[in-house]
Amino acid sequence: MSPARPPASRPKAVKSPSSPRLRAAQALEQVWSGKSLDDALVLEGLAPRDQAQAQWLAFGTLRWGLRLEALLNLLLEKPFKAREQDLKALLIVALYELDASRVPEAVTVHEYVALTSQLGKDWARGLANAVLRRYLREKTALDAKVDAMEPAVAKAHPAWLVEMLQQAYPQHWPAILDANNAHPPFVLRVNARVISRDDYLARLNEAGIAARAHPASPAGIELDTPQAVESLPGWQAGLASVQDAAAQRAAILLDPQPGERVLDACAAPGGKTAHLLERADIALTAVDISPARLKRIRATLERLKLPTATLIAGDAAQPDDWWDGQLFDAILLDAPCSATGVIRRHPDIKYLRHAEDVAATAVLQQALLDALWALLRPGGRLLYATCSVLPAENAAQIEAFCQQHKDAHLASTPGSGQILPGTEGMDGFFYALLVREGQ
């Protein structure tokens, strides 16, 4: 009698797969469970080309995932079980790639079918093959079916956000959804301390990088295609930074004057801190609650060769813990917010934010405003900023603040107010410049 054969070993899923497609699928699965895309997408160990593909797939899949999930449901006889979320994520990435890439479809299907084995799910090869081939056969009809579903599904947004946008912008909400699904432009801010915009445009031109002056920001330059920052002329010498034109408005609106004491209250990673220092010689204090993020400010100021600022890890809503008691001439409060204005840059927001977060964030913003107002000298100005499009965090927040603080006056400065995503190519932002009455 021959000895009993050992049971056939089941293939095991690979932890850090070499396939960029699997890395994107893993990232999607982790964002579903609450991780940010920055933390979820692991690029280590991939060649630069594969890193770019993993990023392209992860961003595209998160941008359109809520729609692709509905599409996948139309293709399945029964939904995936909890232990099959890895397979579900892989098929959603596959549907995105089949729709968005120019790789021959048969090759793409073949690749994804093979990847089911790397998940340790050989049994799913037939299923993946059938689902993806049926999608290709019935694409037009299936896409039309999803187009006809409610806007939250067809335009891939969470239903709560669509409802809030419809309420706030009864005319404009469809354009906001479209802008959130568009690819963001790659925008630079030229360091005005060391080079003019025209001269930096000439440097880009010499380097063969197509770019033009941004119409919405005096220091802004928009590139035709995104670039690795290290390949930009004078990057290490601090000639330029990456920053959307809407974010570039903060320093312009606060307009720091030489010698002023300025507080940047929620400062990390420091894009606006640096811009303030590029515009004037000021005594700047930058506070952020996250010590890890505060380190990034230091690195940014060093690269840009800017004068030092006082950097403090602290809670801006509890100034007694860190304030030296001297009033500020100007304060920037770039408050934590829903980030609903920058979804085109951070599509994971569609999964990570929830309706109840908006009210909770508004409470935090109010506490920050109240605490910081007491630090402003009479006649001084506080610029309140968010990258949100929701009135509860913006206009309604400021209206309530002005009602409760009779010494607060809302300045009607051009360029302030609500910027909707896509307006003049910008991210969605909100600015309110408050002046404290008195001398």
Binding status of residue 427 toward ligand SAM by CB under 6 A = no
Choose, by CB under 6 A, the member of 153, 253, 311, 317 that binds ligand SAM. 317
Assess 246 for contact with ligand SAM (CB under 6 A): no
Report d(CA 115, CA 109) in Å as an integer.
Answer: 10
Q: 28 — alpha (psi -120 to 50), left (phi > 0) or beta?
A: alpha
Phi, psi of 147 (to 5 degrees): -60, -35
Q: Per-residue contact track with ligand SAM, 276 to 295, x per CB under 6 A? A: -----------xxxx--x--
Contact between 266 and ligand SAM per CB under 6 A: yes
Residue 387 known to be catalytic: yes
- Nearest Cα neighbor of 245 from 192, 300, 189 is 189
Give the CB-side neighbour count of residue 386, counting CA atoms within 13 A.
Answer: 28
Instruction: Give the active site residue among 387, 408, 420, 432.
Output: 387
Plot region of 259 (φ>0 → left; ψ -120 to 50 → alpha; else → beta): left
Instruction: Establish if 315 lies at the interface with ligand SAM (CB under 6 A).
Output: yes
Q: Is the CB of 17 or the CB of 341 nearer to ligand SAM?
A: 341
Q: How far is residue 213's CA from residue 89's CA, in Å, rounded to a whole number?
A: 40
Residue 418 and residue 395 in contact, taking contact as beta carbons nearer than 8 Å: yes
C-alpha 268/C-alpha 288 separation (Å) is 6
Closest approach, Cβ 81 to ligand SAM, in A, equals 38
Q: Which helix (H) or strand (E) holds 10?
A: none
Sequence ranges of the binding site: 266-272, 288, 315, 334
Q: Which stretch binds ligand SAM (CB under 6 A): 22-30, 54-62, 102-110, 310-318?
A: 310-318
Return binding residues for S-adenosyl-L-methionine. 266-272, 288, 315, 334
Member of 270, 319, 341, 347 binding ligand SAM (CB under 6 A): 270
Stretch in the footprint of ligand SAM (CB under 6 A) among 181-189, 230-238, 261-269, 343-351: 261-269
Shortest Å distance, C-beta 179 to ligand SAM: 19
Angle at 433 between CA 216 and CA 243, to 5 degrees: 35
**Residues with catalytic roles:** 387
Q: Which residues bind ligand SAM (CB under 6 A)?
A: 266-272, 287-290, 293, 315-317, 334, 336
